Amino acid sequence: MKLCSRLLINTIIHECHDGIYSGHLSEDRTLEKVKNGAWWPSWRKETIEYCNTCDRFQKANRITGKKFGLIIHIQEPKSPWEVVHMDWVTALPESGDRSYNAFSVIVDRYSKTPIFLPCHRDVTAMDMPQPHVITPSMGVCGKYRLTPFYGKLVTSSIL
């Protein structure tokens, strides 16, 4: 490592950050390049200051879009089938007596137990097996007991 003069310091930082082979690197990468090439007492502070005052670097690395929101903790269920996740796997080749070409996956969040139900690609949530079909063996999903969607689903299956 060499001890550097002011002119050499400015040239080193410039070449490590703005140089033809550097292309306005991030602070960390510029610091790494400077550290590998030279040393002076305030090299880290001066390099960071140089990067922060580089107009082109600031424009290229600004954050666009919305800021991230707060993390919301999802409470863990306390018993099986209290919370379920549901998704569909579609665009499969037809199979079975009824020419199924998709299936629905229902997963219990507590036990991670999956249920795979064959269906057709154009199925909707209202077309899925009614809750009273699953209830005898699994129990009613607690998350949907009081929601309007669940109420409509139960009401439509009874009528």
CA dist 17 and 28 (Å) reads 10
pLDDT at residue 133, as a whole number: 46
pLDDT at residue 125, as a whole number: 73
The alpha helices in the chain, defined as continuous H runs, are 6-17, 27-37, 43-53, 55-60, 131-138, 148-158
Q: What is the pTM of this model?
A: 0.42
CA dist 21 and 79 (Å) reads 59
pLDDT digits (tens, 9 = 90+) for 101-118: 998 888 888 999 898 888
